[in-house]
Structures are given as C-alpha cells and as structure tokens.
Amino acid sequence: MKLSKISTALLAGGLATQVFAAPPMNKNPLAELPYANKTENGYSLEFNDKNYSTASAELNGKTITYRAFEKIVYVSNPVEAEYQTLNFYVPEDYYQGKEINGYNAKTAPIFLPNAIGGYMPAMAAVASQAGHDGKTNTILQALERGYVVASVGARGRTLKQGDTYTGKAPAVILDLKAAVRYLHANDDKMVGDANKIISNGTSAGGAMSALLGASGDSADYTKLLDEMGAVNASDAIFAVSAYCPITNLEHADAAYEWEFSGLHHYSRMDMSRLNAKTFNDRSMKQATIEGELSADEIKISNDLKDQFPEYLNNLQLKDEKGNALTLDKNGNGSFRTYVENALVLSANQTLNGLNADEKKAFVEKYKGLSYANGIVSAVNLTEFVTNKARMKSPPAFDALDLSSGENDEFGTTTIQALHFTPYSLKNSTANGDIADAENIKLLNAMNYTDNSKAAQHWRIRVGSEDYDTSHAISAMLAVKLQMSGKNVDYALPWGVGHAGDYDLDELFNWVDKIAR
C-alpha cells in the first residue's frame, strides 16, 4: 500500500493550513426548473442527448465550454425527486471530435462527486455554482482536466413528508447506486466511459463513496433498488476517492476512544441545528459547542476504549508485508505503530518543503514528535492527539440520548432516531431501540471489502488534524482493501482537518494514472 506525497504547505509562522469541506454555499440555481426527463407517464430513464444547455466559465486563463444536462431524475419512482437527480456535464470539445488530456468522447472517465455531509440530504452540485469560500468549483476543474462529470444528489436523514421520514438509511446509498445504474444503462448514449466511474465524497460523503465502491453489484441491495425504480444495470464503479470517510459506524465509538480517550476538552460544530434547507444553503454560520467531559463521560470513554482491541484483532489485519496488525488489551501494538508511521511519513513530506524558520516553527508547534538527523523519526499518538481538542464527547456517534446525526440516520419511516450499537442500547438514556441489523450492515463499507465487484482503485485521504472520527477507521478500511488485492493509495496529509477536495491536482493526477 502506497502512502503517497501530499503537498500540504504551512502558513507563515508554522500554522497548519485548515480546509473545511462543505456543500455549495448558495442556493441551487436549478431549484425552480422542471425535471429534464419528466414525462406524462413518469420519468424516462433513457438519456436524451438533445436536452442540454451550453455554458462557459473562465479557469486558469482558459475558457471552459461545456454542455449541461441537468436535473435528470435517475429512478422511475422517486420519493424525493429534488434530491434523486444527477447533473451531467461534458466538455464541448468532445462533440467537436477533439481530445483533452489524452481522452476523447469514448474514453473520458466519469467523475462522480457527491455533496453529502452529516448524512443530510444533498442536492446534486451545479457547475455554475461557486465553490466553498469562493474557490473554483470542483466540477469545472474536472471538466478542464478532460473528465465528464456526473454530479449526483441523494436523500438524507431529515427529509420528511407529513409524518413519514423519507431519507433514513439505507436511502443514501440506494440513491447513489441508482445513479450509477443510470450511467451504465445509458453508456452508449452518453459521452464518457461508464466502465471508468470514479466516485468522490467527503465525510459522510466519503463514507458513501467508499461504500459505493466496495458494494458494487451486491445482491444485498437488489430488491430495494428494484422497488425504487432503479434501472436494471450494474452499479459497480471503477475507482473511489474518499476524503475523511465517516464509516464503520457500529465500531466508530470504540475506535474514537482508543485514539482520543486522553482528551477531555471538546470543540465541535452543532449539527443538531442543521436541516435540509440550511445544509444546502450554508449562508448561516454554524454554532460551535465547547465543554469538558463529565466523570460519567470519562467512564464511558474508558469502557469504549477497552472494546476496541478485540474488534481490531478479530479483523486479522496484515500490512503489505504480511505482518499482523494487532493491539494488546491496553490498546498498544503493531496497529498503533502502523497509524503512527503514516503520520511520520506525512510529517516528513511537509517538513522537507519548509525553510529553516518554518522548520523551527514546525518543531515548536507539534507535540508528540521525535526527531533524528533533521527529520521526524517517530510519532507518539497519545501525545500527538493533544495538539487540539477532541471534536466529540462519548459516545461519539451512537449518543445515549439519541441526539447524534448518526442516530437520526438509522431511524425508520416513523421513528426519528435509533441506536446502532449494543453498548449505547444498554446504556440508553432515551429508552431507545436499536436499528435493523440489515440497515446497519448496508451502510458499512467494511462489510464489502472482499466483494468481487468492488472497485479496484482506491484513494483515501484523512487529515492528520481530523478528529471527526478516529484515524483507525480509515486505516482499517485501507488495510482490508489492500488485503483483498485492491490498489490502495492511503495518506494522512499533514495539517489538514476535516476536509475534502483540497488537493485536486494530486487527485486528478491519480485519476489520470489509473484511467488512461
């Protein structure tokens, strides 16, 4: 498994760059437009190559002209058509018989970004929208690179019609799979190669990008996809780009405390105030919650920490040299060393690009690092995590009072929130019940890493300063995929928090390497 270079620079004075992922900042400009494939009899799942608009944008001194096939509903029986849509963008040059970056109309890969975060409903991103903090839209940058872009929307946990919830698990992954099926079914009619679909997502979107790649064509989803009117085609994809995937939720609480149990101060965004409207229009500043763990929470932290070694050891993980990755009852061992070594590599990649003053600031800034001959020789994970506050109080995901977004995600059509771990069920303060075991399974990429139709190529990025979930979560996923023969490019870019799309040049270089 390759731990590739990330060129994450430090700001003057040694302060780490922090880039936060978010969905589009402005309202969706397509909201008032009719659905492109609406007919008198419902929704046509045959792609119409005549129904498009042409647009241009300036990027890096170049004019990017593209055709926009927007607001396509990808299932015949949509429950929430506003979200169950995709926008399909194609560089105009392909219609003129030209090549871009070595690709043509038949060979161009299909870049499949989602805007999912917090398991909230997410509309398909639009090429004409500004990117986060005024940065260039990822879609435009992909088009410049010669990719076709299929921006996909999906339902989420807060959607409701009357007294019925319409976006609880596993709706989000079913929607993504249905969109991929649409692309495969219409491959002959659309520009680009549906056998080279590369998904991309951040946070919960990263988890769903990973799950989409791992669970391709799994029979576990077939009946549900048929019921929602997904076209009968493959939902397998070629490659996965996953930024900070919030996955493996049923073991994420234990993993979180394995890494962060020594931290008692927390600072996090208040996700409880988000709904579908505020999530897709982030003009409002989100509130932050800060505090100290109580004595009861510290006990919970210790309980959960003690659970993690048994789970980790049962995975029977091995590194690429065949060495077992394990933990003793105290949470120490070769798996901890594996995570620490990933941090060592990341630290040195950044350190090597600094001048003398910046290196001095770097050394002074970070606790938990040891040095030899001018480079980082080791990272003590226990000390390293004290460089900032934890983001979540225990349990980090399956809250005892059912208040977390993940509790909300595992609700039903009639129940808003449910537990999804035995520990939180046993200690519930809300008299909560537990989610259906099959729904929990269907949302975890770790359950499908050995799937024969899983994506072959994987790029997983989690920032060294990302405390939204444990670094163990992405490490376990990366190792499991590598053990199953996948091509895995895994790294912990230095100084980056909970973020995505911060290294698009490097991401697209990786796409070119696997897709040409």
> What is the mean pLDDT of each successive set of 10 residues along the chain, which is 516 residues long?
37 32 57 92 96 95 96 97 98 98 98 97 92 76 98 98 98 98 98 98 98 98 98 98 98 98 88 52 63 97 98 98 98 98 98 96 97 97 97 97 97 98 98 97 98 98 98 98 98 97 97 97
Q: Which of 408, 437, 466 is the last residue of a domain?
A: 437
1 found inside a domain: no
Q: Which of 410, 437, 464 is the last residue of a domain?
A: 437
Which tokens go with 21? 């992922």
Measure CA 93 to chain center. 31
- Examine the domain organization and report whether 96 and 224 are in the same domain: yes
DSSP single-letter state for residue 395: S
425 found inside a domain: yes
Which tokens go with 240? 């996965």
Gap between the Cα atoms of 233 and 133, Å rounded: 38
- Examine the domain organization and report whether 241 and 303 are in the same domain: no
* Amino acid letter, 459: R
pLDDT at 136: 72
Number of structural domains the chain divides into: 2
Calculated CA dihedral for residues 498, 503, 504, 506, nearest 10 degrees: -140
Which CATH number goes with the domain that contains 370?
3.40.50.1820
pLDDT at 308: 98
- Examine the domain organization and report whether 403 and 489 are in the same domain: no
Decide: helix, strand or coil at residue 279. Answer: helix
- Examine the domain organization and report whether 341 and 458 are in the same domain: no
pLDDT at 271: 56
- Examine the domain organization and report whether 235 and 295 are in the same domain: no
Q: Count of alpha carbons within 13 Å of 196, Cβ hemisphere only?
A: 19
- Examine the domain organization and report whether 190 and 286 are in the same domain: no
8 found inside a domain: no
* Cβ atoms 333, 348 nearer than 8 A: no
- Examine the domain organization and report whether 68 and 165 are in the same domain: yes
Q: What are phi and psi of 246, to 5 degrees?
A: -90, 80
pLDDT at 32: 82
- Examine the domain organization and report whether 261 and 211 are in the same domain: no
6 found inside a domain: no
- Examine the domain organization and report whether 262 and 226 are in the same domain: no
Q: Which of 437, 452, 487 is the last residue of a domain?
A: 437
* Cβ atoms 52, 148 nearer than 8 A: no
Gap between the Cα atoms of 35 and 55, Å rounded: 19
- Examine the domain organization and report whether 200 and 64 are in the same domain: yes
Gap between the Cα atoms of 451 and 318, Å rounded: 18
- Examine the domain organization and report whether 141 and 217 are in the same domain: yes
pLDDT at 8: 33
Gap between the Cα atoms of 252 and 261, Å rounded: 13
430 found inside a domain: yes
Domain hosting residue 270, numbered range: 250-437
Dump the DSSP string for 121-137: -BPPP-TTS--GGGPPP
pLDDT at 97: 97
Gap between the Cα atoms of 316 and 300, Å rounded: 26
- Examine the domain organization and report whether 425 and 446 are in the same domain: no
271 found inside a domain: yes
11 found inside a domain: no
Which tokens go with 69? 């096939």
pTM: 0.92
Q: Sign of the CA dihedral 380, 483, 211, 492? A: positive
293 found inside a domain: yes
pLDDT at 275: 53
Asked if the bond preceding 395 is cis, omega within 30° of 0, the reply is yes
